[in-house]
Amino acid sequence: QLVYPYDFRLTEKEKTSICYLSFPDSYSGGLGDTQFSFRLRQSGGQRTTHYEDDGEYNREAPLTLQRESAHYFGYVYFRQVKDSSMKRGYFQKSLVLVSRLPYVNLFQSLLQLIAPEYFDKLEPCLEAVCNEIDQWPPPVPGQTLNLPVMGVVIQVRIPSRVDKPGSSPVKQFNQENLLPAPLVLPSIHELDLFRCFQPVLIHVQMLWELMLLGEPVVVMAPSPTVSSEMVLALTSCLAPLRYCCDYRPYFTIHDSEFKEYTTRTQAPPNIVVGVTNPFFIKTLQHWPHILRVGELRMSGDLPKQVKVKKLAKLKTLDTKPGIYTSYKTFLHKDKTLIKRLLKGIQRKRPSEVQSALLRRHLLELTQSFIIPLEHYIASLMPLQRAITPWKNPPQIRPFRQEDFMKTLEHAGPQLTCVLKGDWLGLYRRFFKSPNFDGWYRQRYKEMTQKLEALHLEAICEANIVAWMKDKSEVEIVDLVLKLREKLVRARCQHLPVKEETLQRVGLYIETIIGSLPEDLQTVLHHH
């Protein structure tokens, strides 16, 4: 019915998809308000974003919170109430917030404030809210922001890449003595993992392996709320490692990718997809891992845990909750986690404490797995003394899987993790996954930039006049052009170089040009 602000351009295809994704696609007798999220592939090429500082934000934000370039997130607030004046006997409407940022808590909290007002007052309400949001500062990693909207101030900290993984968010100091007291969000994006994983707590490790390996997983849930929370919880359990595969927190049969995902002529894609329509039980039967969950109910004791079952059992529409897979885990089960969580349940510990335990466990698991990889890749960097000013910097040595495997004997995950099992098999399988590819590319890019930076510093330390003594004009001009190119690259790519280093290289260039004959000087200055 309405898109606000009006100048926000969506293609027809995107509009249609957003419409289908904004409503539950299976009968839900539930009346009242529900909230859920979806993620949508952008169609129709790259559009310029309003944010020219994308690069800066993405460099400083944790990899898991970068702004997406090819997908939108949709955050939905859906209301269904009996209304005899409507043809269907119900009032059904959704307000959807579309963003490239995965700030699920912030945006869902925002909708809780806006949506009830909007259903009541309609468009003028959105206009007022958008005017307020326009005044918000941009998200800067590491900063705590106060965001005023509708008489409330939401206070939230934007995480930064330099935060220590697993450290609890800094308790916000309310210096400004804001009145009324702000609505403080403990995290901009972290879900209540304990609540999301309730029915699968004893299988958390298997699910972690499936995510690490980028396996195709279907989550079948009774509602978009459960499906989107479960998918987001799954994709977040590798942090700080970035989950590099595609994921759809909620997916309907009207989706433009429906054919692509349900075809049996090729293997299912590396993706986690959340569905609610029972029709998918038939169409996604050939997927290797299907997690079927019921309604999430918070209760005082350990909820009924689902069982791992054979895929062949997945036939009927009234399929019981369970993990339908023939997957055998590489690592043995960790009993201590479940014991700790059970103790927490008996002691009636709040859900956020249980979630913190769970997150800590997953973080330690991921770190045990990734630290040996980080050590090995760091050893591929050339030695600092091999970097000389007048030669191109040496290459980063290639990543050899077998060499890496050899390092595991004395420096493997067993140093930091008590879990026994086939770690080697897990690494071998990981090397075939998009998550390894994504991790390696990111590290390779960082190392290349570090090399460039070290090279610039070496040039700065060098005695340029001595070097020029026995060089021909051609060689000197060549050096000027190369240094200039380096300087431009350092600025464009925001290399980790001190500003004074860049200025000194700039001065060098001027000095060298100054020593050349005038005709050449003119050419170089114009160049």
The predicted-structure confidence for 37-63, as pLDDT tens digits, reads as follows: 999 988 876 555 555 556 788 888 888
pLDDT band for position 30 (cuts 50, 70, 90): low
CATH architecture of 193-437: 3-Layer(aba) Sandwich (3.40)
The runs of H, that is alpha helices, within 244-284 are 258-262, 279-283
| Selection from 35, 122, 135 nearest residue 79 by Cα | 35
pLDDT for res 410? 82
The Cα 405–Cα 233 span in angstroms is: 31
Contacting residues for 475 by C-beta, under 8 A, at least 6 apart: none
pLDDT for res 20? 92
pLDDT band for position 179 (cuts 50, 70, 90): low
Rounded to 5 degrees, what angle do the CA atoms 311, 369, 426 make? 40
Residue 195 confidence (pLDDT) above 60: yes
pLDDT for res 411? 77
pLDDT, greater one: 142 or 49: 142
Residue 26 confidence (pLDDT) above 80: no
pLDDT for res 318? 59
pLDDT for res 244? 94
pLDDT in tens, 391-413: 888 889 999 999 999 998 887 78
pLDDT for res 46? 57
- Tell me the average pLDDT across 159-167: 80
- Tell me the average pLDDT across 510-518: 81
The Cα 204–Cα 6 span in angstroms is: 44
- Tell me the average pLDDT across 75-87: 87
pLDDT for res 404? 94
Contact 520, 477 (CB under 8 A): yes
- Tell me the average pLDDT across 384-388: 82
pLDDT for res 298? 64
| Selection from 38, 23, 150, 122 nearest residue 79 by Cα | 23
End-to-end Cα separation, the chain, in angstroms: 55
Instruction: Provide the 3-class DSSP secondary structure of residue 184.
Output: strand
Residue 336 confidence (pLDDT) above 70: yes
Contacting residues for 427 by C-beta, under 8 A, at least 6 apart: 404, 405, 408
Quote the mean pLDDT of the chain.
Answer: 86
pLDDT for res 482? 85
pLDDT band for position 431 (cuts 50, 70, 90): very high
Residue 181 confidence (pLDDT) above 90: no
The Cα 188–Cα 61 span in angstroms is: 12
The Cα 458–Cα 456 span in angstroms is: 5
pLDDT for res 335? 86
- Tell me the average pLDDT across 151-178: 73
pLDDT for res 456? 86
Where are the chain's structural domains?
A: 12-138, 193-437, 463-526
pLDDT for res 441? 95
Residue 241 confidence (pLDDT) above 90: yes
Place of tokens 């071998």: 428
Beta bridge partners of 156: 145
Among 99-103, 309-313, 429-433, the least confident range: 309-313
pLDDT for res 477? 81
Instruction: Provide the 3-class DSSP secondary structure of residue 390.
Output: coil
Residue 166 confidence (pLDDT) above 70: no
pLDDT for res 358? 93
pLDDT, greater one: 460 or 134: 134
pLDDT in tens, 268-325: 889 999 999 888 888 888 889 999 988 776 666 677 888 888 877 776 655 788 899 9
Contacting residues for 480 by C-beta, under 8 A, at least 6 apart: 509, 512, 513, 524
The one-letter code for the residue type at 218 is V
